[in-house]
Amino acid sequence: MEAYDYIVVGAGSSGCVVASRLSADPAVRVLLIEAGADTNKFWVRTPAGTGKLFMDKRFNWAFNTEAVPTLGGRKVYWPRGKGLGGSSAINGMIYMRGQPSDFDHWAALGNEGWGWADVLPYFIRSESNQRGANDWHGGDGPLHVSDPAIGHPTADDFIAAAQRVGIPRSADFNGPPHEGVGYRQYTIRNGRRHTSYNAFIEPVRHRGNLTVRTGMRVTRVLLEDGEATGVEVQAQGQRRRIAAVREVILCGGALASPHLLMLSGIGDGASLHRHGIVPAVESPGVGRNLQDHWFGSFSWRATAGSSYNHRLRGAQKYVEGMRYLLTHGGYLALGASPVTAYARSEPGRPEADLQLTVSPMTFRFAPSGEPVVDGFPAIGGSMVLLTPDSRGHMEMLSADPLQAPAFHPNYLSEPGDIRRSLAGMRMLRQIAQTQPLASRIVDEMAPGPDTVTDDQLLDHLKANGNSGWHQVGTCRMGNDPMSVVDARLCLRGMRRLRVIDASIMPKIVAGNTNAPCIMIGEKGADMIRADATPARVVAS
């Protein structure tokens, strides 16, 4: 049987880090398995191509949730990356770590070694920041982090207006004081998207002890006598087995990793029995504790010069395209909304729980899934509740590993989430009505000037809001009966098996999730090396 010391399942934000760091030891053999394909395509590498990837099933699993009762029965679209780099190949490239209290809370829950002081060195290690190294940032790591390629006066006016309503200016959201209003940073290098694959695997893919396989679907983890012994895979219509001499490491993300555990007989016993799967480990927390960010959307018709919609339409879009091809600059080199504010929904909150953003461009999706930039000047905005109390779950629908599970996100099921979200929507509207930003706005298109009561705003939030595409928590780290992995990310009840990805987060971070997933990969790889699980004998 084909055998490797470590099998890493999933070449996404965490998996690429784990495989890169483990394969730095020439004495071990590492296999990195990815179900998707190569993502070295023009619109993947071009930052403004994010919209084109939103519904592109070549690079996107394109999941949908079940009907969500708290949203009036809506099903919500969940894009997830499929291919080398995972979701870092289709996301908005925002580099945001969360707040120190997020990680201190993880540690307070009994996860030793996961406090802010413990994880900060891993954030720094992974990063090469355009601004250089300091106490909070790295200057020579694999992942390039940069400022927006081009500024816009509307973004500057949003910052000024937010300051006028009492939100302080921030020069760095990833350094103290970790809240305020300012420009974001992005995982973009020289005008091109810098995925976890580009950063961590591409430069070392020549290593003789590192094997990368694409187009290969892992269908279950092989278990024997209380330990993981390898994986079963499907490729080109055939199934076969690959042995792991030391460990199997699941890095499929918050949706794929728990599903793979269930398929392997690890999860809620009654649920597994219903699908004819004999439980190997009773772990009722698998697929529970599902968390995500929910956002409310805004759009405003704007004055000429307050939006760059016109630069991405008609003949101008070809000018921008040529500009990008020649310089890797201009509007095609921009990531998602360039400016944001981290603020508190209520005065007594211990940390910022709102993310308020504005972008000087707007677009819609045509029935084909193609993004179409609006033909008039407009400004888009969003309010994200960063610390939701609502919890959902996922469950198997079939023992067929190729059938997606059912996702029940349970958005806005907690009254406090609704109250704080409405406060955030009012705050963003207040900023839009404050000078100097107010002078750029002609009228509010959505939710609209007549949407003023709590009930009206809530109706808009339910009908037109959307996922922040930050699903986490489904293989929660902890030391209680509902936790799935321990603080060393080892699966409870099964040896030689770890989960290292967004699913291990006990609580979602108050920010975007890509940078924390890379940190989790860094820390997880260090734990694997430190533990040095001895090789087992594999029958030839």
Whether 348 shows a pLDDT value over 90: the answer reads no
CB 258 within 8 A of CB 9: no
CB atoms within 10 A of CB 430: 15
| Secondary structure (3-state) at 369 | coil
Tokens, residue 297: 């959307």
Where are the strands (E) in 96-200, listed by range? 127-129, 143-145, 180-183, 188-189, 192-193
The confidence score (pLDDT) of residue 237 equals 87
Whether 540 shows a pLDDT value over 70: the answer reads no
Tokens, residue 117: 């002081």
Whole-number Å distance between alpha carbons of 488 and 476: 12
Whole-number Å distance between alpha carbons of 460 and 451: 8
Give per-residue pLDDT as tens, 208-222. Answer: 999 999 999 999 999
Give per-residue pLDDT as tens, 157-184. Answer: 999 999 999 999 999 999 998 899 999 9
Q: Residue 371: pLDDT band by 50, 70, 90 thresholds?
A: confident
pLDDT, averaged across the chain:
96
* CB proximity list for 322: less than 8 A, separation 6 or greater: none
The confidence score (pLDDT) of residue 4 equals 98
* The one-letter amino acid at 370: E
Task: Look up residue 211 and give its DSSP letter.
Answer: E
CB atoms within 10 A of CB 191: 18
Whole-number Å distance between alpha carbons of 229 and 496: 8
Alpha carbons within 13 A on the beta-carbon side of 155: 17
Out of 144, 178, 460, 470, which one is annotated catalytic?
Answer: 470
**Cα torsion angle, 508, 114, 393, 528, sign:** positive
**Cα torsion angle, 435, 440, 446, 449, sign:** positive
CB atoms within 10 A of CB 425: 29
The confidence score (pLDDT) of residue 1 equals 83
Alpha-carbon distances, residue 117 vs 99, 104, 135, 180, 305 (angstroms): 12, 8, 12, 22, 45
Alpha-carbon distances, residue 10 vs 188, 243, 244, 407 (angstroms): 22, 16, 15, 20
Give per-residue pLDDT as tens, 256-282. Answer: 999 999 999 999 999 999 999 999 999
Whether 534 shows a pLDDT value over 70: the answer reads yes
Region of 181 (left: φ > 0; alpha: ψ -120 to 50; beta: rest) is beta
Task: Look up residue 437 and give its DSSP letter.
Answer: G
Q: Please, where are the H alpha helices in 127-242?
A: 153-164, 196
Answer yes or no: 194 catalytic.
no
Whole-number Å distance between alpha carbons of 26 and 200: 16
CB 24 within 8 A of CB 264: no
Q: Exposed, middle or buried: residue 94 (CB in 10 Å: 0-12, 13-18, 19+)?
A: buried
CB 467 within 8 A of CB 409: yes
Whole-number Å distance between alpha carbons of 151 and 235: 46
- The residues pairing with 343 across neighbouring beta strands, listed in sequence order, are 354
Where are the strands (E) in 56-142, listed by range? 63-64, 77-78, 127-129
Whether 367 shows a pLDDT value over 90: the answer reads no
* The one-letter amino acid at 106: W
Task: Look up residue 278 and give its DSSP letter.
Answer: P
User: Treating both helix axes as pointing N-terminal to C-terminal, what angle do 454-464 and 415-432 enclose, rounded to 10 degrees?
Assistant: 100
* Of 150-154, 362-366, 405-409, 456-460, the least confident: 362-366
3-531 CATH: 3.50.50.60
Q: Are strands 217-224 and 378-385 parallel, antiparallel or unpaired?
A: unpaired
| Secondary structure (3-state) at 79 | coil
Whole-number Å distance between alpha carbons of 380 and 298: 6
Whole-number Å distance between alpha carbons of 417 and 426: 14
Q: At which residue do the structure tokens 């919500």 appear?
A: 76
CB 535 within 8 A of CB 245: yes
Alpha-carbon distances, residue 325 vs 45, 46, 134, 230 (angstroms): 12, 10, 33, 45
Chain length of the chain: 540
Residue (of 536, 538, 532, 534) closest to 25 by Cα position: 532
The confidence score (pLDDT) of residue 370 equals 82
pTM: 0.97
Structural domain spans, the chain:
3-531
| pLDDT (mean) for 111-122 | 98
Tokens, residue 536: 């087992």
CB 201 within 8 A of CB 16: yes
